[in-house]
Amino acid sequence: MSVVLVDAGGTNIGSVRYALLRLGVDAALTADAATIRAADKVILPGVGAAGPGMARLRELGLVELMRSLTQPVLGVCLGMQLLCAYSEEGDTECLGIIPATVHRFAEAPGLRVPHMGWNRLVAKKSHPLLTGLGDDDQAYFVHSYAVPVGDWSVATSDYGEVFSAVIARDNFHGMQFHPERSAAVGAKLLQNFLAL
């Protein structure tokens, strides 16, 4: 099975790659369109801001390619947000695969932004990505912006508001948290993606 990590400049690429290595998968880091198109699975990692993330995809000529992929695709953290239509962060038009607007968490007493830490994942519908997920399973989040809940939401989490933690639409999937930093739960969810 060939798995590629799209080299969109995310600072979490090394840790995602290492998490995949622990699962026995040596994922190539690439910005080459032909390599991405030929892969069995494509992962779009990302840490940072939406504007620079989309600028990098445009600069590499990968925007239309990403939209046209038919194999399983996984966006991680910012990579998940880039699958959406628009991000309020930097007034950014994104890939438009998920018809959602990414918004900033509202500051509230006792709720610091960015949201950093462990939060419970709540399954909203049955999906192969969630195979083996328990009712009390948690994942590790670091983000200031969130994808709202919609028919794309497979699992949600709550940080002053309920937001999408895992999304899926056709062959496109996303995890807002960092599976590579979410211990056994993260490893299991990555394994589920690899099994799609």
Residue spans per domain, the chain: 3-195
pLDDT digit of tens for each residue in the chain (196 aa)? Answer: 999 999 987 667 888 999 999 999 999 999 999 999 999 999 999 878 999 999 999 999 999 999 999 999 999 999 999 999 999 999 999 999 999 999 999 988 989 999 999 999 999 999 999 999 999 999 999 999 999 999 999 999 999 999 999 999 999 999 999 999 999 999 999 999 999 9
Three-state SS at 99: strand
Cα torsion for 75, 23, 133, 123, to the nearest 10°?
10
Residues classed as catalytic = 77, 178, 180
Q: From 165, 159, 162, 116, select the one nearest 137 (Cα to Cα).
A: 165
Reported as half-sphere exposure (CB side, CA atoms, 13 A), residue 161 has a value of: 16
Query: How far, CA to CA in Å, does 90 sit from each of 38, 53, 102, 145, 179?
Result: 32, 11, 11, 11, 26
Q: Measured between alpha carbons, how far is 98 from 148 in angstroms, rounded to an integer?
A: 11
Protein fold of 3-195 = Rossmann fold (3.40.50)
Q: Measured between alpha carbons, how far is 177 from 186 in angstroms, rounded to an integer?
A: 9
